[in-house]
Structure formats: C-alpha cells, structure tokens
Chains A and B, each alone.
Chain A
Amino acid sequence: MVRIDFNRLRFLVIDDNAHMRRILRTLLHGFGTREVYEAEDGAAGLEAFTHYSPDIVITDWAMPIFDGLELTQMIRQPGANANPYVPIIMLTGHSEKKRVVAARDAGITEFLAKPISAKALYQRILNIVVNPRPFIKTKTYFGPDRRRNVNPNYVGPDRRKGGKADIIKQQPLLDKAKALT
C-alpha cells in the first residue's frame, strides 16, 4: 500500500483570492503538510517559487499582472530557474476543453477544475508523487509528457515534432477482431 508522507512536501499556492488560498492551505494541512507558502499573483508567485523551491506548485489561472498560464510558461524554461520540472497543478474555474488543452500545452502537470474537493486534490497529488512522467522537449514544447498512456503495439510514423500533442487514433480491438473474422 502506497501513501504519501505530506510532511516531507513543500507547497506553493498561488491564487489572487484569499478565500481560496485559505481553503487550499486548510486542505493541505489536513493532509499533513506543514510547509505551505502563498502568493497572490503570478509575479509574486514566480518570486516565491525561486525563493522557496517548492516541491509542488498549485496555481490559479485567472490572476492580475500575469496569470497562471504565463506563470507556467515562465517556470517551464529549461535553464532559467532551479527547477523547471516542478509539478504544477492548475486549479481553475475554467473547464472548457479549449482551456484544458491550452494549460496542457503550456506544461502543467495536472488540471483540477473547481469546485475543489479534498479527494480530487489528493488524487492529483498522489498521481504526481507516485507516477511521475518524463519531460518532453521539442522546438515548441517543454513539459511533462502529454501522452498519459503508452501503447506498446503502436505501429506507424513517429509524429512527435510540433508543439501540439499528437492524438493517435487507434482502431478498437473489437473492431479489429471483427475485421479478421
């Protein structure tokens, strides 16, 4: 059985809404974390990120000065800071497909749509800690591997070239079996 020793994790919470920061802090303390740092906008968040070297960043999207998406892009600059690989959870009221894809392509690690729940937050953190993904660097993308599932039976061209993650459509196994009979 795998569990997380939250006491060994340092969090940075970036949200311009003081109520949401308080809720996140309460949940993280409830999990057992002691070290939770806060920032109230993207600029202060970047400064806090450099100063505190958090293990996990939780950021809102819509914030003044620069938003969570821009913050993610600034953190995901290889060589520009101490830890461009830091896991980033985007916690946001935006849940449209277009937004999720934009956040993924900026290099977030996990997406968490509001309303927040203890269970959903815990699952994202558990996934980050227990199933870390490798990073991919292309000409236009640097961030966690956007292909969460690997198909060892895939045969075809390797299309990992551009900035957008390739979606490889596959014939369902059942259809293949039907075609053979």
Chain B
Amino acid sequence: MSRRPEDHAEAAVTKFKDYEVITPPNKLEKAVVHARPSEHYEPDPVARAEQALLTLSNDFAQWMEAECRRLDAARRKVREAGLTDAARDELFRAAHDIKGEAATFGFPLIEPVARSLCRLIEHSPEPARIPLVLLDQHVDGVRAIVHRNAQGNSERKAQVLAERLRQVTEEFLAHENRNRPGYLDEVAAPALAPDPSSG
C-alpha cells in the first residue's frame, strides 16, 4: 500500500540540552469535525457501537465455551509436559484472555477466578513448585461457573469458590515470595490507568 501525502510532512523539532520536543504533523486533523450543536444530527457513535456489540452478543456464550476449551487444553499440556515455559505461557494467555473477556461476554463471575490463576502463574518465583491441583481447581472452577451461569442459579456458590481460590493462591504466593520483601505489595498496587478525560 502506498504512503499517503501526509506521511511526508516534516516534524517541528525544538532542541534542549538533554532532550528534544518534537511536534509531528497532525495527520489526524483530517478527522476532526467542528459542528454546531444544531448540526449534530448524527446518532451518537458510542450508542451505535454499543448497538453493534449487542447484535454480536448472541455469540458470546459460544465464544466463552471456546475459551474454556482452550484453557482446558492448555491445562492438559501442563499435566503432560509439566510447567515448561511454553506450557506455562499458553496457560497464562488462555487465563489472561478469559479475565479480559469475562465481563464483556456476560460472565463476570469467572473474572476473579481467572485473575487468581493469572497471579498464581505470573508471580510464583519457581513455577515448578505450583501445585498442579491448584491449577486444576482454577481451570475447573472457571468451567463450572461458565456452565452453571447458563442455568443462572449459582452466583453465591461462584463467589464463594472464587474467594476460596483467591485465599489459597495468595497464601501460596506469600509463602513463595517470602524472600522477596515488598514484591507482592508492588504488584498489588492499585490499578493506574490514565483517564484521558482528566486532562
């Protein structure tokens, strides 16, 4: 694909002793539309996108089933090959994806279980020491909640299960990281995602 005319524009550079401030050509200015309120007749783009997502939502349960199968397959590889780097990465990515998708797909109760599994894998200094039974319990927990979610009658049980898995995982991580003072506090620091609307 050929480069567009705006790709060739020059950036303005102001040099200081230790750094440069570069103002690149604003290639996105082409997309800014200044409209009077009376001209704002187009449907709200956010509402339009939400509506589009809604039409997709019929597939979400099926997609979550596929994610569960992927998690189960990754768990089986760990069982067969042990916690090798490749097997561990695969299990982590499967759990991490479920964590990020859970709420979007309408399965918010599995998010804390997937989060706990991610922490277990990511913050164990010696992954080989992670009890396989604890990995199994997380994977089975995710699958059970997904399947029971369809029946819509097990919210309390899911919360209890998630909390128990979280407690056991945190106890294990605290023990495993006992020689890394401050490590878990650092990773437990509250989320910090810049809010673009604040400035």
Identify which of B38-46, B127-135, B169-177 touches chain A.
B38-46
The answer to whether A20 touches B100, judged by C-beta atoms less than 8 angstroms apart, is yes
Instruction: Tell me the residues in window 2-49 of chain B with beta carbons closer than 8 Å to chain A beta carbons.
Output: 3-4, 7, 11, 16, 18-24, 26-28, 30-37, 40, 42, 45-46, 48-49
Distance of A136 from chain B, by nearest CB (Å): 6
CA–CA, A28 to B53, complex, Å?
A: 10
CA–CA, A149 to B40, complex, Å?
A: 30
Chain A: residues with Cβ within 8 Å of the partner, total of 75
The answer to whether B18 touches A110, judged by C-beta atoms less than 8 angstroms apart, is no
> Given the interface contacts A93-B100, A95-B191, A114-B99, does A1 sit within 8 Å of B20 by beta carbon?
no
CA–CA, A32 to B31, complex, Å?
A: 12
The answer to whether A118 touches B53, judged by C-beta atoms less than 8 angstroms apart, is yes
The answer to whether A100 touches B192, judged by C-beta atoms less than 8 angstroms apart, is yes
> Given the interface contacts A26-B52, A98-B187, A132-B26, does A122 sit within 8 Å of B45 by beta carbon?
yes
Residues of A within 8 A of B186 (CB): 98
CA–CA, A100 to B89, complex, Å?
A: 21
Residues of A within 8 A of B181 (CB): none
A4 within 8 A of B: yes
Chain B interface: which size bin?
Answer: 35 or more
Q: Nearest CB to that of B50 among chain A residues?
A: A118
The answer to whether A30 touches B51, judged by C-beta atoms less than 8 angstroms apart, is yes
CA–CA, A82 to B9, complex, Å?
A: 11
Residues of A within 8 A of B53 (CB): 23, 26-27, 30, 118
The answer to whether A119 touches B104, judged by C-beta atoms less than 8 angstroms apart, is no
The answer to whether A17 touches B31, judged by C-beta atoms less than 8 angstroms apart, is no
A21-37 to B contact mask, C-beta < 8 Å, 1/0:
01100111111100000
Q: Which residues of B contact A (CB under 8 A)?
A: 1, 3-4, 7, 11, 16, 18-24, 26-28, 30-37, 40, 42, 45-46, 48-53, 56, 63, 66-67, 89, 92-93, 96-97, 99-104, 118, 186-194, 196-199
